[in-house]
Amino acid sequence: MGRSAQPIAQRAAAAGVELSDATAATVAAFVEQLDAAAARLSELDGIDGPPAPAFDPRWR
Partner 1 sequence: MSALPTTLAEAAAAIAAGRLSPVELTEAALRRIELAEPQVRAFELLCAEQALEAARRAERALAAGPPAGPLHGIPVGVKDVFDTAGVATTASSPMLAGRVPRRDAAAVARLRAAGAIVLGKTRTVELAVGVAETPARNPWDPTRLPGGSSAGSAAAVAAGECLLGLGSDTGGSVRIPATLCGLTGLRPTFGRISRDGMLPASWSLDQPGPLARTALDVALALDALCGADRRDPATLPDPERSFAAAIDDGADGLVLGLATNLLPRVDDEVAAAFATALDQLRALGVRIREVELPLLEHVMPAYLLIALPEAGAAHRELLRERGEHGDPGVRAVLEAGQLVPVADHLRAQRARRLHQQAWRELFAREAIDAVVAPGLPVLAPPADAPLQRWPDGATEDLAGACAPACIPSTLTGLPTLAFPCGRSGGGLPIGAQLIGRPLEEALLLRVAHAFEAVTPWARSAPPPFGAGAGESCDGAAVAEESE
Compute the half-sphere exposure of residue 10: CA atoms within 13 Å on the CB side of its CA: 7
- Binding to partner 1 in span 11-50, by CB under 8 A: 11-12, 15, 17-20, 22-23, 26-27, 30-31, 33-38, 40-42, 44, 46-50
Write down the least CB distance from residue 18 to partner 1, Å. 7
* DSSP state at residue 54: S
Q: How many CB atoms lie within 10 A of CB 8?
A: 17
Amino acid at residue number 42: S
Which parts of this chain interact with partner 1 (CB under 8 A)? 3, 8, 11-12, 15, 17-20, 22-23, 26-27, 30-31, 33-38, 40-42, 44, 46-52, 54-57, 59-60
